[in-house]
C-alpha cells in the first residue's frame, strides 16, 4: 500500500461515481512516484492553512521512498514534499511486536522486493529519528 494525502476542493459523489478535483489528481500522480509501503503528503499541504497544526510525532521528513528517476525530473519532483506519515512510530507505540519481520515475510515476489526493502529502510529511519522534532541538529531527509 502506498498513498498520498492531498487537500483542496473536489467533487466526491459516491452515487454517480464521480470523483473530480486537483487533490485527486495530485494524489494519483504522487502515489505512483513512490516505492514503498507508506503514505506521504502531497504538495497541496504547502498551501497556507494546510501546512500547520500537525502533531510532529505523526509526521517524518523523508525523501528516499520516491522512485530513483523522480529527483532528476522537475515535473515529477514538484509532487515530492519530503513529508511522510510516521506509521512505524505509531506501530512501536501501540504494539510490542517488531514490524520488520512481518514486512520481510510479505516479500515473496522478487519483482517487488525493492518496495519491501525501501519500507524496511523507512522503518529503521523512523526508529533512528524517533524524536526528530526535539533535536537541535538538522535532520537528513533519508
Average pLDDT over residues 130-141: 81
For residue 104, pLDDT beyond 90: yes
Confidence of residue 114 (pLDDT cuts 50, 70, 90): very high
Give residues with Cβ within 8 angstroms of 71, minimum separation 6: 63, 77, 80
What pLDDT score does 53 carry? Answer: 77
pLDDT at 51 over 80: no
pTM of the model: 0.89
At residue 130, does pLDDT exceed 80? yes
Model confidence at 52: pLDDT above 80: no
Residue with cell 533535536: 135
Amino acid at each position: 500500500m502506498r498513498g498520498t494525502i492531498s487537500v483542496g476542493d473536489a467533487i466526491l459523489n459516491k452515487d454517480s461515481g464521480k470523483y473530480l478535483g486537483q487533490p485527486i489528481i495530485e494524489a494519483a500522480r504522487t502515489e505512483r512516484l513512490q516505492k514503498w509501503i507508506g503514505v506521504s503528503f502531497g504538495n497541496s499541504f504547502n498551501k497556507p492553512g494546510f501546512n500547520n497544526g500537525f502533531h510532529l510525532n505523526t509526521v517524518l521528513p523523508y525523501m528516499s521512498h520516491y522512485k530513483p528517476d523522480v529527483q532528476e525530473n522537475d515535473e515529477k519532483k514538484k509532487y515530492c514534499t519530503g513529508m511522510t506519515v510516521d506509521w512505524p512510530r505509531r506501530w512501536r507505540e501501540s504494539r510490542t511486536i517488531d514490524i520488520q519481520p512481518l514486512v520481510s515475510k510479505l516479500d515473496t515476489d522478487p519483482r517487488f522486493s525493492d518496495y519491501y526493502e525501501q519500507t524496511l529502510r523507512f522503518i529503521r529511519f523512523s526508529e533512528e529519528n524517533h524524536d526528530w522534532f526535539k533535536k537541535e541538529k538538522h535532520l537528513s531527509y533519508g
